[in-house]
Amino acid sequence: MNQNLAFADYAIFIIYFIVVSTYGYTVYRKRKKDEQDAKAYFLAEGNLTWWAIGASLIASNISAEQFIGMSGEGFFLGIAVAAYEWIAAIALIIVAVWFIPVYLKNKIYTMPQFLKTRYNESTALIMAVFWLFLYVFVNLTSILYLGAVAINGLAGGEYLHVIMVGLALFALIISLGGMKVVAYTDVIQVAVLIIGGLVTSYIALTTVGQYFGVGENAIAGFKVLMREAPEHFKMIIPKPTATSSQLEIDKYLTFPGLLSYVAGIWIINLNYWGCNQYITQRALGADLQTARTGILFAGFLKLLMPVIVMLPGIAAYVLYQNGHLPQLVGGKDGAYSAVLTFLPTGLKGLSVAALTAAIVASLAGKVNSISTIYTLDIHKKYIQKEAGEKQQVNIGRIAVFAAMLLAVLFTWNDVLGIGGVGGFTYIQKYTGFISPGVFAMFILGMFWKRTTGTAAIVGVILGFVLSVLFNEYAPMLFGNDTLLYTAYPNGKGAFEIPFHICMGLSFFFTTLAMVLISFAGPKVNPKAFELDTTMFKLKPQTTVLIVITLLVIASLYVKFW
């Protein structure tokens, strides 16, 4: 079996590169006047359709951490990891119905601007710096590293740094054109990643069917997966007992069953989709109905994502357990790349293009958000207050270069240890350190008029401190079994609390502290947002799309509970 790419694969990849680059340049030429309008450059204000918003949301979200990381978790956990995608669809409904109207009514363009408008400038500055560090040193680095490792494995294993630089340059080409270029090229990117991802899943299932003697039939192959790995088709991971193996404990530490749905997974998703510049930026320049429809369209596409990014991981697990996947290297994060080796010449190139599309779209979207926050919330306010529109665009482009350069430097030799902990877990865990405080600050700021600026600053700092406490030190300080949590052996000589539970505890105590502090202030904070019921009314077609999404999710949980 030849793992390397053939001429036809390279040809398909080159065609993909030319199509995306040409289309991006065409969009850029048509909107070159955006260079004289900073908001148009950073936000594509008023220029995005609902389908462009929805496609861009998915293209920016689905990246190496999904293709490689979530496929790896599918190999390890099974279908339980699909909860990240299916709960995300519900979170997008909540964002579309309740969050976006608040942003648009108050003309919010960046998340630090929200904090300044609702609370104070100190809170906005603290979080602007915090987000920049998170986006560069967690998100950009992990996307770049995981993507380069995956493509390098298919290209022969000798070109890691060349591929890393190539991905960074490709993303730069797109992102320098501004948000409109990013969003509209994302439409092509999401089409490529969905088609390529579905092809990979189909080949994985037919390969399983072939090896297990049921023919090259995808449905038959799926039935083999359910027969050979029934534990991989349970949404709820059982709580460990005294007789549980370390493997069973490790699974629970990663996704602690029903408690995940009580605590962490909602905080992760609502913070990511509703309080994240990287995501909300796509909708902040549109009118309410366009933004809502685009977000709900993204939620509907989310239902499909586990088929693309998780199912190949389960197929890899069944093949590996039965000795049919000797090419698997690098543990669970090598599952997706190993499955790609089964693809015939040509289709392998399509799948690499899909993976590249996901990586590049996420990198471009992320650096665009970095440049937006830096330019509008830091440089314009504190460094060069008199900067004009053209200067702001140029500053944004410099920020794009700087962010990508830092990402390349820190992923060059995996300085941050991304490969050691698993890509998907790395992103979820370290993002989770700030998610409880940020989400508490946003949700109370939107919907409780009494929340004060002092409470917000305490909340973001306390949320981070509590996250570190529960994740790293609580078992050692307070014991392994308390009223609040149970810590389990992690197989490395220590005990851990599942990080979803850590997030839930951090969020609860942070929210409690913010509420108590706010009671010392006025009953209505002068900076509180004005809300009215008309903001949250839905058109019939919007309601229908929400109902369809919820029915599909309910059916999936009934089937795989």
DSSP assignment string, 355-422: HHHHHHHHHHHHHHHHHHIIIIIIIIIII-TT--HHHHHHHHHHHHHHHHHHHHHHHTTTTT-HHHH-
Whether 544 is in a domain gets the answer: yes
Q: How many CB atoms lie within 10 A of CB 40?
A: 21
Under 8 Å between Cβ of 343 and 200: yes
Token pair of 244 as six digits: 């549980």
Task: Map residue 433 onto helix, strand or coil.
Answer: coil
Q: How far is CA 197 from CA 183, 194, 229, 271, 556, in A?
A: 20, 5, 22, 27, 20
Q: Per this entry, what is the length of the chain?
A: 561
Domain count, the chain: 1
Whether 453 is in a domain gets the answer: no
| Model confidence, pTM | 0.87
Whether 510 is in a domain gets the answer: no
> Which helix (H) or strand (E) segment is 447 a member of?
helix 435-447
Q: What are phi and psi of 496, to 5 degrees?
A: -130, 150
Distance of CA 389 to the CA centre of its chain: 31
Q: Exposed, middle or buried by CB within 10 Å (0-12, 13-18, 19+), for 383? A: exposed
Structural domain for 230, as ranges: 7-431+531-560
Could you tell me the CATH number of the domain that includes residue 344?
1.20.1730.10
pLDDT by position in tens, the chain (length 561): 345 677 888 888 888 888 888 877 787 777 655 556 666 666 665 667 888 888 888 877 777 667 777 888 889 898 998 998 999 999 999 999 999 999 998 888 888 889 999 999 888 888 889 889 888 888 888 888 878 877 877 776 678 889 899 999 988 888 877 767 777 777 787 888 788 888 889 999 999 999 998 888 899 999 999 999 999 999 999 999 888 899 899 999 988 988 889 878 899 899 989 998 877 877 887 889 999 999 999 999 999 888 888 999 999 999 999 888 887 766 777 788 788 888 888 788 887 888 788 788 888 888 888 888 899 889 988 888 888 888 888 898 899 899 999 999 988 887 777 766 555 566 766 777 888 999 999 999 999 999 999 999 999 899 999 999 998 899 999 999 999 999 999 888 899 999 899 999 999 999 999 999 999 999 999 999 888 888 899 999 999 999 999 999 999 999 988
Whether 76 is in a domain gets the answer: yes
Token pair of 495 as six digits: 């005990």
Whether 458 is in a domain gets the answer: no
Whether 522 is in a domain gets the answer: no
Distance, CA of 179 to CA of 108 (rounded, Å): 16
Name the one residue in this structure whose structure tokens are 């409470």.
455
Whether 303 is in a domain gets the answer: yes
Token pair of 290 as six digits: 């366009």
